[in-house]
Each structure stands twice: as structure tokens, then as C-alpha cells.
Amino acid sequence: MIGPVPVCAIDGEDSKVTVRTTTANVAGADTDKQQLFKLVSSDASCTFDWMVLDNPGNDFEQGDTNTFEFDMDAVHTSYHCFHSITNVLWQDGTCMGSTCNDWIAQDVQISVKSVNECTTLTVNLDGFTSDNAQLNLDAPQTLANHWIVSMD
């Protein structure tokens, strides 16, 4: 008899990076500009590319929450690179409409779900204003393990 067997509670799903943004509920907080983010790692071998946040339709409307999903491999192919995230770079992208003022974020949450490691890393960013300048935001993070024990 082998005993308890660890099982990943998120088996059968895809590894992905999910970005959830909430636009502040104040006048002038919305924008038609795409928003871009780039993860920064303390590991010099881990270089991330800029990722564009742009769903079909109208994103970043006053008081609204938007969700953007990426395959993990599209953000970075090495899972270990997500372990050492220290900062998130943020900047405005292309104007996609007529209201292209500064975007005011109430909050941003970036979740990295790794099926191979059975973990979810979550980065929470407090309110900020994206104003054409590249912002360097601290990335306080938590790591959740999803292993369960099966008695099979």
C-alpha cells in the first residue's frame, strides 16, 4: 500500500495568466486606450514581453471590471520565471476610440495559474492612474497551492 497520493485540484485545465481590472467609479476615469503590462522578475534570465489588454468591445469603462486571459506560454514559457516577480510595468497603449484620456484604476489583479506546478500566484495592484508614462508598480503577491490528498 502506497498511502495518500497528491492530486492537483486544477488538473484538466490550462495554465493561464488572468488580468482583472476595475476602473475607478469617478468622472473621467474611463478611457478607450489599450492598457499594457509587463512582469519584471528578479531572475536576470527571465525577461517578459509587453502584453496588450484589449477585449472585443469597450474596455476600461467607469466603474466596470474587465477580465483578460492569456495562455501562460504567451506570457512566458518558463514556469519558474513567475516565482520571482518583483514589479509590474504598466503603460497606455493605442487609442481605440474617441475618449483617450488617462485611465484611473481602482485595482488590478494578475493571477498566474500553473497546472504543472498546481499553484496560483496572485499579484494585487492598488489604484493608480495610467498617464502615458511607464509606471513601475510594486507587486505584492500570494501563492496558493492546490494539491489535495487522495486516499485511492
Pick the CATH number of 5-150 from 2.60.450.10, 1.10.10.60, 3.90.660.10, 2.60.60.20: 2.60.60.20
- Cβ distance 11 to 60 under 8 Å? no
Statement: residue 78 has pLDDT above 80:
yes
Residue identified by cell 508598480 is 137
Cβ-proximal residues to 56 (8 Å cutoff; 6+ apart), any chain: none
The domain spans of the chain are: 5-150
**pLDDT in the model for residue 1:** 52
Proportion of the chain above pLDDT 90, given as a percent: 78
List the grid coordinates of 56: 472585443
- Report, in angstroms and rounded to the nearest whole number, the Rg of the chain calculated over CA atoms: 17
The answer to pTM > 0.75 is yes
Q: What angle do CA 5, 10, 16 make, to 5 degrees?
A: 140
Statement: residue 149 has pLDDT above 80:
no
- Cβ distance 91 to 66 under 8 Å? no
Helical (H) or strand (E) element with 106: strand 103-114
**pLDDT in the model for residue 35:** 97
Q: What is the dihedral of CA 95, 100, 102, 104, to 10 degrees?
A: -90
Statement: residue 18 has pLDDT above 80:
yes
d(CA 109, CA 111): 6
- Cβ distance 34 to 53 under 8 Å? yes
